[in-house]
């Protein structure tokens, strides 16, 4: 990404919240260590809680210390951030807080030689976003089109209508070019690498289409349950929480046409083209094309875990889905009739996010059937997490005088190859917003396009209560219906390919059979 380290004041609404503590504070500290923060940099935290400057600084430091994955915060380093941290307490609905903020911004930037970027990060519940945006507008804090930016977290709306309304609220005050809608998956190294892999190499692009690809699977599996977020999740569910944003964005990167240049809008245009080409799902097709599930109790890593309906703040007869799977088609020249299978769920057997591309079989099987008993089509597997890398699976002859073919894997491992820490998604995204690079953020039409795709499923699921919940045990791969969804096409979900690559071994091939 392009980095212009312009003076920046990061204004965090919800300074005492979980996101600031767990994600933003550690990201800022790591950026400091990596020398990615501008020389002139300040943080202003705002929150409804009344507390002193030192308490706020301590809260940020605690977050950085606990979550930075850097082995703890060193005081001397932290102090170079902390000395430019201030806190304002107040009600976000009260105009006074915006005039205090305005004064503070002026004071902070006074000694700097150039105008600072003002990044307004809304680390708040979605319900308050409109109020804050309005307050910023009235106070004139959004009017500098090139220096004022607003960062909006997910969930971005609850459905298409609310997303459109929220876009209306934002664009009444900010220009689209000032709005940065976060999907943290786009900040992950391996997700960004999809573009590099596809368009910086000539090898795969010629076969990246319906003539050579049989189907695509996108899996985002989590081991964690709903944790302390029951109240949110009851109104969200897996389709809204994960598919509408993270999985759809991955799908766009896999399916998009090559971009002409690396400009934010060029890349986003290409992604929107994919969303527009997704075949609309009719409500009477939802049953065949989408599956929902909810976890029951079970065992994870040797420990008993409760059912979703026994989690805090969850109704005992909750219809919220903790698992969703669906089949989509992208109706264009490249992808006509190639199915894309998407699945995501909580309390699944492993934490794993990957894209699996299955190529078509060879046109003619010339080997004797006895040689090809374990025959498999070629697979390309892009591991997004936790072991970041790419696997190419192909057939090889097993050693020996009798002809036997076996699938083998060629591995590329990020960690082994680059031997350096991949930045956390929030680090990348903060650097980009400070540099004014919106490539990894979602534009209004992307968000709305994605809501449009899932709206029929939301409608049907809301109007038909599930009768079989809970329908999968914690620690499994989800409900049987998800197997049926893909099996009815004569295919099956990819078995997880997680496998540690040994040090110095990244170019080896290994038997997978
Ligand atoms: C969030 C969802 O957007 O992504 C969570 O709200 C989910 O429910 C999380 O757990 C997963 O993110 P990651 O980076 O851990 O895969």
User: What pLDDT is attached to residue 470?
Assistant: 97
Q: What is the mean pLDDT of the chain?
A: 93
DSSP state letter for 501: P
User: What pLDDT is attached to residue 502?
Assistant: 39
Lowest mean pLDDT among 316-330, 372-386, 480-494, 499-513: 499-513
Local confidence band at 4 (pLDDT 50, 70, 90 cut-offs): low
What average pLDDT does range 430-436 have in this prediction? Answer: 95
Local confidence band at 69 (pLDDT 50, 70, 90 cut-offs): confident
User: What pLDDT is attached to residue 366?
Assistant: 87
φ, ψ at 75 (rounded to 5°):
-50, -45
Top mutation candidate among 241, 386, 422 for ligand 1, by most atoms within 8 Å of CB: 241
Contacts of 343 (CB under 8 A, 6+ apart): 217, 218, 219, 220, 221, 323, 324, 325, 326, 478, 482, 493
Query: pLDDT digit string (tens) for 302-318?
Result: 999 999 999 999 999 99
Contacts of 68 (CB under 8 A, 6+ apart): 26, 29, 30
Q: Report the C-alpha gap between 145 and 175 in whole angstroms.
A: 7
Q: Report the C-alpha gap between 344 and 482 in whole angstroms.
A: 10
The answer, yes or no, to whether residue 504 has pLDDT greater than 50, is no
Catalytic positions, please? 246
Local confidence band at 497 (pLDDT 50, 70, 90 cut-offs): low
Top mutation candidate among 69, 125, 246, 322 for ligand 1, by most atoms within 8 Å of CB: 246
Q: Report the C-alpha gap between 328 and 493 in whole angstroms.
A: 15
The answer, yes or no, to whether residue 365 has pLDDT greater than 90, is no
Q: Please, are residues 112 and 129 in contact by the beta-carbon 8 Å criterion?
A: no
Nearest Cα neighbor of 9 from 149, 183, 184, 154 is: 149
Name which residue sits closest to atom 9 of ligand 1, judged by CA: 242
DSSP state letter for 187: G
CA of 490 to the centre of ligand 1 (A): 31
Q: Please, are residues 380 and 197 in contact by the beta-carbon 8 Å criterion?
A: no
Local confidence band at 507 (pLDDT 50, 70, 90 cut-offs): very low
User: What pLDDT is attached to residue 466?
Assistant: 96
Place of tokens 């309005």: 134
Helices (H), 89-180: 95-109, 129-138, 160-171
Nearest Cα neighbor of 77 from 88, 86, 89, 68 is: 68
Index of the ligand 1 atom closest to the CA of residue 232: 6
Helices (H), 68-227: 75-82, 95-109, 129-138, 160-171, 189-199
What average pLDDT does range 441-469 have in this prediction? Answer: 97
User: What pLDDT is attached to residue 23?
Assistant: 96
Local confidence band at 511 (pLDDT 50, 70, 90 cut-offs): very low
Query: pLDDT digit string (tens) for 154-195?
Result: 999 999 999 999 999 999 999 999 999 999 999 999 999 999
CA of 223 to the centre of ligand 1 (A): 11
User: What pLDDT is attached to residue 30?
Assistant: 96
Name which residue sits closest to atom 14 of ligand 1, judged by CA: 185
DSSP three-state, residue 511 = strand
Q: What share of the chain is helix, strand, coil (3-state, %, to 5)?
A: 40, 20, 40
What average pLDDT does range 489-511 have in this prediction? Answer: 58
CA of 276 to the centre of ligand 1 (A): 25
* Burial per residue of 98-119, b for 16 or more beta-carbon CB atoms within 10 angstroms, e otherwise: bebbeebbeebbeebeeebbbb
The answer, yes or no, to whether residue 33 has pLDDT greater than 60, is yes
User: What pLDDT is attached to residue 411?
Assistant: 96
Index of the ligand 1 atom closest to the CA of residue 188: 14
Index of the ligand 1 atom closest to the CA of residue 154: 3
Local confidence band at 113 (pLDDT 50, 70, 90 cut-offs): confident
- pTM tops 0.95, yes or no: no
Higher model confidence: residue 69 or residue 333?
333
Query: pLDDT digit string (tens) for 193-219?
Result: 999 999 999 999 999 999 999 999 999
User: What pLDDT is attached to residue 111?
Assistant: 84
Q: What lines the ligand 1 site, CB under 6 Å?
A: 154, 222, 241
User: What pLDDT is attached to residue 164?
Assistant: 97
CA of 55 to the centre of ligand 1 (A): 29
User: What pLDDT is attached to residue 2?
Assistant: 45
The answer, yes or no, to whether residue 499 has pLDDT greater than 60, is no
User: What pLDDT is attached to residue 212?
Assistant: 98
User: What pLDDT is attached to residue 512?
Assistant: 39
Local confidence band at 373 (pLDDT 50, 70, 90 cut-offs): confident
Both tokens of 316, joined, read 């005992």
User: What pLDDT is attached to residue 278?
Assistant: 98
User: What pLDDT is attached to residue 408?
Assistant: 94
Order of strands, edge to edge, in the sheet holding 148-152?
A: 85-89, 41-47, 8-13, 117-122, 148-152, 179-181
Local confidence band at 421 (pLDDT 50, 70, 90 cut-offs): confident
Long-range pairs, 313-319, Cβ under 8 A, ≥24: 313/230, 313/231, 313/234, 314/226, 314/230, 314/233, 314/234, 315/234, 318/234, 318/294, 318/469, 319/294, 319/461, 319/465, 319/466, 319/469
CA of 239 to the centre of ligand 1 (A): 12
User: What pLDDT is attached to residue 509?
Assistant: 34
* Highest-scoring range by mean pLDDT, 34-43, 491-500, 501-510: 34-43
Q: Please, are residues 429 and 224 in contact by the beta-carbon 8 Å criterion?
A: no
Place of tokens 């090898």: 203
Lowest mean pLDDT among 313-327, 402-416, 497-511: 497-511
The C-alpha R_g of the chain, in whole angstroms, comes to 24
Q: Please, are residues 255 and 274 in contact by the beta-carbon 8 Å criterion?
A: yes
**DSSP output for 299-331:** EETTEEE--GGGSTT--TT----SEEEEEEEB-
The answer, yes or no, to whether residue 1 has pLDDT greater than 70, is no
**DSSP output for 330-398:** B-STTTTT-EEEEEEESSBSS-EEEEEEEEPPPSS--S-TTTTTT----EEEEEEESS-EEEEEEEEEP
φ, ψ at 359 (rounded to 5°):
-85, 165
Query: pLDDT digit string (tens) for 80-103?
Result: 999 999 999 999 999 999 999 999
The answer, yes or no, to whether residue 17 has pLDDT greater than 60, is yes
Contacts of 232 (CB under 8 A, 6+ apart): none
Name which residue sits closest to atom 4 of ligand 1, judged by CA: 242
Q: Please, are residues 356 and 380 in contact by the beta-carbon 8 Å criterion?
A: yes
Q: What is the dihedral of CA 227, 483, 241, 461, to 10 degrees?
A: -110
Top mutation candidate among 22, 236, 242 for ligand 1, by most atoms within 8 Å of CB: 242
User: What pLDDT is attached to residue 372?
Assistant: 78
């Amino acid at each position: 990404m392009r980095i212009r380290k312009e003076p920046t004041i990061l204004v965090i609404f919800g300074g005492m919240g979980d996101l600031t503590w767990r994600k933003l504070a550690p990201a800022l500290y790591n950026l400091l260590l990596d020398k990615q923060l501008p020389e002139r940099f300040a943080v202003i935290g705002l929150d409804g809680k009344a507390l002193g400057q030192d308490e706020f600084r301590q809260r940020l430091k605690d977050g950085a210390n606990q979550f930075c994955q850097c082995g703890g915060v060193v005081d001397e380093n932290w102090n170079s951030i902390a000395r430019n941290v201030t806190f304002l307490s107040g009600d976000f609905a009260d105009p006074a807080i915006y005039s205090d903020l305005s004064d503070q911004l002026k004071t902070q930037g006074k000694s700097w030689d150039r105008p600072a970027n003002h990044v307004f990060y809304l680390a708040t519940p979605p319900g308050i976003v409109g109020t804050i945006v309005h307050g910023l507008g009235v106070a004139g804090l959004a009017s500098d089109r090139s220096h004022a930016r607003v960062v909006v977290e997910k969930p971005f709306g609850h459905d298409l209508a609310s997303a459109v309304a929220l876009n209306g609220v934002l664009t009444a005050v900010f220009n689209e070019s000032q709005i940065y809608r976060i999907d943290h998956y786009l900040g992950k190294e391996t997700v960004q690498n999809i573009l590099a892999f596809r368009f910086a190499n000539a090898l795969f692009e010629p076969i990246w289409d319906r003539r050579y690809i049989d189907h695509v699977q996108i899996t985002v599996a989590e081991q964690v349950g709903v944790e302390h977020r029951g109240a949110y999740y009851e109104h969200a569910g897996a389709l809204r929480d994960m598919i509408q944003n993270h999985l759809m964005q991955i799908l766009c990167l896999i399916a998009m046409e090559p971009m002409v240049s690396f400009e934010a809008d060029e890349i986003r245009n290409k992604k929107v083209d994919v969303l527009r080409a997704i075949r609309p799902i009719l409500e009477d097709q939802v049953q065949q094309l989408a599956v929902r599930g909810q976890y029951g109790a079970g065992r994870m890593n040797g420990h008993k875990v409760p059912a979703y309906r026994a989690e805090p703040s969850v109704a005992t007869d909750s219809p919220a889905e903790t698992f969703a799977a669906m089949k989509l088609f992208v109706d264009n020249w490249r992808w006509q009739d190639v199915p894309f299978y998407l699945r995501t769920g909580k309390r699944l057997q492993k934490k794993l996010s990957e894209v699996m591309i299955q190529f078509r079989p060879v046109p003619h099987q010339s080997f004797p059937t006895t040689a090809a008993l374990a025959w498999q089509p070629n697979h390309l597997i892009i591991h997004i997490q936790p072991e970041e890398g790419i696997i190419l699976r192909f057939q090889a002859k097993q050693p020996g005088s009798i002809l036997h073919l076996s699938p083998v894997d060629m591995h590329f491992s990020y960690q082994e190859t680059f031997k350096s820490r991949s930045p956390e998604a929030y680090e990348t995204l903060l650097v980009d917003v400070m540099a004014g690079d919106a490539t990894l953020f979602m534009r209004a039409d992307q968000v709305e396009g994605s809501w449009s795709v899932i709206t029929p499923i939301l409608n049907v699921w809301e109007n038909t209560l599930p009768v079989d919940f809970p329908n999968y045990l914690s620690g499994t791969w989800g409900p049987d219906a998800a197997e049926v969804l893909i099996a009815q096409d004569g295919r099956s979900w990819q078995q997880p390919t997680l496998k540690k690559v040994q040090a110095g071994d990244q170019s080896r091939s290994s038997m997978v059979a």
